[in-house]
Amino acid sequence: MLKRVHFPTSLLPYLLVAPQVIITLVFFVWPASQAVYQSFLIEDAFGISTEFVWFENFIYLATDEQYLDSFGRTIFFSVCVAVLSMSAALILAGFADRIVRGATTYRTLLIWPYAVAPVLAGALWVFMFNPTLGIFPYLLEFVGVDWNHYLNGSQAMMLVIFAAAWKQIAYNFLFYLAAMQSIPRSLIEAAAIDGAGPLRRFRDHIFPLVSPTTFFLLVINAVYAFFDTFGIIHAVTQGGPANATTILVYKVFNDGFVGLDLGGSAAQSVILMILVIAMTVVQFRYVERKVEY
Amino acid sequence: MASITLKDLVKTYGDVEVLHHVDGAIEDGEFIVIVGPSGCGKSTLLRMVAGLETVTSGEIRIGEKVVNQLEPADRDIAMVFQNYALYPHMSVRENMAYGLKIRKIGKAEIERRVQEAADILEIGPYLDRKPRQLSGGQRQRVAMGRAIVRNPQVFLFDEPLSNLDAKLRVQMRLEIRKLQQRLGVTSIYVTHDQVEAMTLGDRLMVLNGGYVEQFGTPIELYDRPATLFVAGFIGSPSMNFLPATAGGGALILGNGASLQGAGHASGSVTLGIRPEHLLPDENGPIRVSVQLFEQLGANTLVHGVLEGTETDVVASLPGHVSADPGTIMGFTAPAKDLHVFDPATGRRVEE
């Protein structure tokens, strides 16, 4: 039988966890509850009176074409970011796993982008792709592409996808490399003796064996693309042109602080909150359980 | 089937030479065991034959073909790893079929060969299981199955039994031997276990510190060890080494006792006598002050020191023997069972 150790009751443990609890209350629980409350309110155009309207804001969102468009755009954006950054990371990790000499240098260099703040990452890409000054539009002109993401919505979307994916590669790379290095060397050697070349070994063994990591990263990247890309979009396109890059988080900001529709904006953030809770549940429920192979 | 020739093989890691000019000719169908203590380079040598390590200099030939530059896949070999290296995401059947699938062999033929190997190894009922659902012994069989379906020219075994318990190890040892005899495939087997080496190998290559100490049949190694290292490594319990002075056909031990059978040796030598070759004899020249007995049932190990010296002596006597500690027991040893070594070079002094 297990014996419980009993400490005399004292204030100390409560004091020790207090900072964490206060931070959570002030910066998470309170704003979240405010958002929920506000999502039930409509303010008049001059901000003089507010009216409690229950779910009217949500009903309006469900029928608002712009909001639904933004939803679809966000899903497209996240899928692209996740696929792009994960496949790039997978390939890089595949190579990094093979080299012996200078491995640490490569690894360090590949991790650097993760330390770049989202706004700075955005700024970098804005400079590189500036239609009048940037190096890439200049080069693209040679192959007949007229790059102007200030006017062309698809190009703007492409640009934010690249910027967001690029920043996430480092993170994915770390996890993939760790997963690959935990595969026993002899297994890969056995495959080599069985006649599998490097590509075939990657496809038949390494990729299936890192599948738990792939699933984990899929959730992480979806959460990242949904919620952490505000800075990049704000720096690169401000949601434009013509809302072409307005994903859900950006729309929350835009409708609330630019459009001053506080109730509608709060309703959107409540929906986002529900989404992030759902994704976290998925992650905890399924990622912990190893993917079956 | 093929012979394997190792010619002047050298392996260095950076500035460190780990294998020093290894030579060896392995005949078609032979079962060769490479044996030696940890870090002697035996696994490195095997991995060089497999193509998993580069050859610094020298030549490896399988059949008539120099394989130094060939990829492992192109050497027509199969290897069984210490940890089996089964593909965890594939069933037993897929594990065994994998190499054949890559070589683009027809489905029916793959099925036939897998079934045949499964019958030989008695793993038929497990073909659709994943490796993690198998016991150690079963995994071992699957690893062997993966090797034999390919029908390679050479089998390479890298300590394949060291992860099994003692009883299973003995059983699998016999099975590997039977299988190899049945298939007649040239095999190289690496182990640090001298009993495994003695029972499995047609010939043994004893490696120590990257040097080949001796390459010969188990009986040659037992009867005529070429070096002190081989003498001490082969046989259990290991050989007694007694410092002695040789001259005129006689050996004078540290305590002045004299033995016949020094051959042409002269000067200071090391005399080796196996514990099982010490015969009790009241008036024998080798007088041992007994310290303790180890009763093994079939025989008894007598531990002691040569009277008047600090040199340890072990004798293995048949049946049950006992005496009080401190008793002096006399032993004699036939001249043919005396091994004389030069202590400076560690080499055997030829008769």
Band the pLDDT of A190: cuts 50, 70, 90.
very high
Mutation for testing the B interface, residue in A100, A183, A185, A193 having most B CBs under 10 Å: A193
- What is the predicted pLDDT for the residue at A215? 86
- Taking CA–CA distances from A184, the nearest residue in chain B reads B85
Candidates A187, A194, A201: best to mutate against B (most CBs of B within 10 A) is A194
Q: What is the CATH number of the domain that holds B294?
A: 2.40.50.140
What CATH number did the domain enclosing B37 receive? 3.40.50.300
Q: How far is A162 from chain B (nearest CA, A)?
A: 34
Range with the poorest average pLDDT among A94-98, A287-291, B147-151, B257-261: A287-291
Minimum mean pLDDT among A68-72, A239-243, B143-147: which range?
A: A239-243
Rounded Cα distance between B15 and A243, Å, is 64
pLDDT at B186: 93
For B330, the token pair is 């006399």
Q: Which residues does chain B have within 8 Å of residue A191's beta carbon, measured at their own beta carbons? A: 87, 98
Token representation of residue A143: 């192959």
Q: What average pLDDT does range A94-118 have in this prediction? A: 81
- Residue from the list A187, A189, A200 with its beta carbon closest to the beta carbon of B102: A200
pLDDT at A246: 85
Confirm whether B314 is domain-assigned. yes
Is B197 within a domain? yes
Residue B345 sits at the chain A interface (C-beta within 8 Å): no
Residue A78 pLDDT exceeds 70: yes
Asked whether residue B160 is domain-assigned, the answer is yes
Does residue B348 belong to any structural domain of this protein?
no
Average pLDDT rounded to a whole number, residues B228-256:
87
Query: What is the interface pTM, i.e. ipTM, of the complex?
Result: 0.81
Same domain, residue pair B192 and B260:
no
> In terms of domains, do B187 and B52 share one?
yes
- Position A261 scores a pLDDT of 79
Report, as an integer, the average pLDDT of A128-132: 87
User: Is residue B306 in some structural domain?
Assistant: yes
pLDDT band at B220 (very low <50, low <70, confident <90, very high): very high
Same domain flag for B173 and B285: no
From A266, A175, A268, select the one nearest A219 (Cα to Cα). A175
Rounded to the nearest angstrom, the minimum Cα separation between A281 and chain B is 27
Instruction: Give a yes or no: residue B347 inside a domain.
Output: no
> How many domains are contained in chain B?
2
Say if residue B89 is in the same domain as residue B224: yes
Domain end marker among B181, B214, B230:
B230
* Same domain assignment for residues B48 and B156: yes
Residue B298 forms part of a structural domain: yes
- The domain boundary residue, chosen from B230, B251, B284: B230
Query: B57 and B189 share a domain?
Result: yes
Q: Mean pLDDT in chain B?
A: 89
Torsion, Cα B281 B286 B289 B290, to 10 degrees, reads -50
* Partner residue facing A192 (CB), from B73, B82, B86: B73
Domain that holds residue B9: 4-230
Q: Which of these, B169, B163, B161, B203, lies nearest to B186 by C-alpha position?
A: B203
Choose among A186, A193, A200: nearest Cβ to B83. Answer: A186
pLDDT beyond 60 at B172 = yes
Q: What pLDDT digit, counting tens, does each position of B84-135 carry?
A: 899 999 999 999 999 999 988 899 999 999 999 998 888 889 999 999 999 8
Residue A80 CA from chain centroid, whole number: 11
Checking if the pLDDT of A3 tops 80, the result is no
- Output the six-digit token pair for B285: 């020249």
Which tens digit of pLDDT belongs to each residue from B15-47?
Answer: 899 999 999 999 999 999 999 998 899 999 999
Give A28-32's long-range contacts (Cβ < 8 A, gap of 24+). A32/A273
From B199, B230, B261, give the residue that closes a domain.
B230
Cβ-Cβ contacts under 8 Å for A7 (sequence gap 6 or more)? none
pLDDT tens for each residue of A238-289: 887 888 888 888 888 888 888 777 888 888 889 988 988 888 888 777 766 5
Inter-residue contact B157 to B129 (CB < 8 Å): no
- In this predicted structure, which of A136-140, B34-38, B112-116, B321-325 has the lowest mean pLDDT? B321-325
- In whole angstroms, how far apart are CA B78 and each of B142, B149, B176? 13, 9, 14
The number of helix segments (H) and strand segments (E) in chain A equals: 15, 2
Cβ separation of A187 and B89 shorter than 8 Å? Answer: no
| Cβ-defined contact of B103 to A195 (cutoff 8 Å) | yes
Are B284 and B213 within one domain?
no
Rounded Cα distance, B100 and B110, in Å: 7
Q: What average pLDDT is seen over chain A?
A: 85
User: If you search the block for the tokens 């505000």, which residue do you land on?
Assistant: A230
Same domain? B223 vs B248? no
- B226 — pLDDT class (breaks 50, 70, 90): very high
Task: Clarify whether residues B253 and B159 are in a common domain.
Answer: no
At B265, the pLDDT band (50, 70, 90 cuts) reads: confident
Q: What is the pLDDT of residue A146?
A: 84
The two three-digit tokens of residue A176, written as one number: 């993939």
A-B CB pairs within 8 A amount to: 63
A-chain residues near B150 (CB < 8 A): 194
Report the residue from B71, B85, B102 with minimal CB separation from A190. Answer: B85
* Whole-Å CA distances, B286 to B102, B274, B298: 65, 13, 24
Residue A50 has pLDDT above 80, yes or no: no
Q: Show the beta-strand stretches assigned E in B46-92.
A: 57-62, 65-66, 77-80
Range with the lowest mean pLDDT among A94-98, B94-98, B99-103, B287-291?
A94-98
| CA-CA-CA-CA torsion sign (B67, B71, B74, B80) | positive
DSSP of A71-112, one letter per residue? HHHHHHHHHHHHHHHHHHHHHHHHHHHH--TTHHHHHHHHHG
Pair (B53, B195) in one structural domain: yes
Q: Do B32 and B110 have their domain in common? A: yes
With residues binned 3-state (H G I as helix, E B as strand, rest as coil), the percentages for chain B, rounded to 5, are 30, 35, 35
CATH number for domain A65-287, candidates 1.10.20.140, 2.40.50.140, 1.10.3720.10, 2.60.120.260: 1.10.3720.10
Domain annotation covers residue B178? yes
**B47 and B141 within one domain:** yes
Lowest-confidence region among A77-81, A121-125, B202-206: A121-125
H or E segment at B252?
strand B250-253
pLDDT for residue A290 is more than 60: no
If pLDDT is split at 50, 70 and 90, which confidence band does A145 have? confident
Q: What pLDDT, on a 0 to 100 scale, did the predictor assign at position A51?
A: 75
